[in-house]
Structure 1
């Protein structure tokens, strides 16, 4: 998101701030990148479900399009019994901070969790926004299946 783009959102709650810290800790514990270098695992994500539980995930980079950290975190949450994800965030390793989701992740989240909120970087700092705000006029895959 460039500095001139702005999507209305809400300041982070205490639990959302904790989710960001959890995601950062998750990737920093397992990253395989040298300081300032590349690696296979350089992005972390975390999902907060309706019960308040948090689930981590890390990316698996591959030139063919390995899974992003957000998708791994959503899979991890589901594998551990979370059926109602509420908030998600991605962060870079080595303190690179919150990273806004790619287009593929946005579409997957909109298709599967249209209620989910995403923590993104805005000019005024981190905010939580609905997935629909991040993907206006999105393709509705579910509606096409009817």
Structure 2
């Protein structure tokens, strides 16, 4: 298995998500913020909607917010926790959804002063590809 060379980190995205987490995440309903760079350069932000029944993560809310703003292609995404918890990697469900919607998206992960950018396929190797299922090519 070969390791891909490191990709640059979009620090502006990390700052946007951190700002959202600090200013919009209050209480228990909104605890994570996400920011993504659209293909046209815009930054889209969102927060999660926590609920004991399984409310959507910030990354999933962001996908809908991006579409509502006409941004259907996202290049990079990051999630940041409230209370200065820093960058949070996407959960398994979000990894699968991000792969299905944006198979070339890059995700910023890492802790403290060591963020790094990985492709979604690096975060979800040997994954189920929904598009293959739709084409009838899944095994």
In the TM superposition, residue 29 of structure 1 has moved relative to its aligned partner by 1.2
Cα distance in 1, alignment partners of residues 20 and 122 from structure 2: 27
Q: Which of 24, 28, 31 lines up with 1:30 in the alignment? A: 24
Contact 1:43 1:93 in 2 (8 A): yes
Long gaps (5+) in structure 2: none
Q: Map of 1:81-120 to 2, 5 A cutoff?
A: 81-120=70-109
Is the CA contact 2:20–2:45 (under 8 Å) kept in the aligned structure 1? Answer: yes
Question: Cα gap change, 1:91/1:7 in structure 2, threshold over 3 Å: closer, same or farther?
Answer: farther
1:101 deviation in Å?
0.3
State whether structure 2 residue 124 is matched by structure 1 residue 135: yes
Deviation at 1:27, TM superposition (A): 2.1
Aligned residues: 133
Shift of 1:22: 0.4
- TM-score normalized with structure 1 length: 0.85
Give ranges in structure 1 of 5+ residues lacking alignment. 1-5, 34-38
- Alignment CA distance shift 1:30-1:126 (3 Å): same
Deviation per CA, 1:70-99, whole angstroms, max 9, x where unpaired?
A: 111121111101121000000001211000
CA RMSD of aligned residues (A): 1.9
| Cross-structure match for 2:7 | 10
- Aligned counterpart, 1:36: none
Determine if contact 1:11/1:126 at 8 Å carries over to the other structure: no
